[in-house]
Amino acid sequence: MTFRQLAFVPITLALMVLLAACGSQNSMLPAITVTFTPSFEPPTSMIVNEQCGIAATVTNDNKNAGVNWKVACGSEGQCGSFSPVPSSASAVPVTYTAPAMIPSGNTVTVTATSVTDPTKFVSSSPIPITQTVSSGCVQPQ
């Protein structure tokens, strides 16, 4: 091989790698994020049986699949409920109803999880549930 042929080999290899990368279908998509929707954020405290509208926004979800809702507290199964169902489209409010009795630990935590990527979620701070004190919330529509 001549010097000219040897010099041409690295250039050819570099061009092949570059062209292969351009045709790749594995380009990086922006990461999915989940946040509470302004004006529909969880309240900072609630009264038993109080109803609040809450919503979560999912960004960079090319499937536009929305979120699944769950609520946790120290009294499993008695932490309140969501309606109409425990899932919603991005930024569409659901109604959360606080538990009928103050749960063990006196608080609940609301979580919205991306349907498309369940590793992406947002959780509220612990929300105190009382008989008499509410921070007020957006009423469900």
Instruction: Assess contact for 49 and 102: CB atoms under 8 A.
Output: no
- Provide φ and ψ at 76, rounded to 5°: -50, 135
Strand partners, 81: 97
Q: What is the mean pLDDT of residues 39-50?
A: 96
Q: Which of 29-33, 48-52, 131-135 has the lowest mean pLDDT?
A: 131-135
**What's the pLDDT tens digit per position in 98-118?**
999 999 999 999 999 999 999
E strand residue ranges, 6-126: 33-36, 46-47, 51-54, 56-59, 67-73, 81-83, 87-88, 94-97, 107-114, 121-123
Whole-model pTM: value is 0.79
Average pLDDT in the chain: 86
Q: Indicate if the pLDDT at residue 2 is higher than 90.
A: no
Residue 100: CB atoms within 10 A of its CB come to 12
Whether 124 has a pLDDT exceeding 60, the answer reads: yes
Inform me whether the pLDDT recorded for 17 exceeds 50: no
Domains and CATH numbers, the chain: 33-130 (2.60.40)
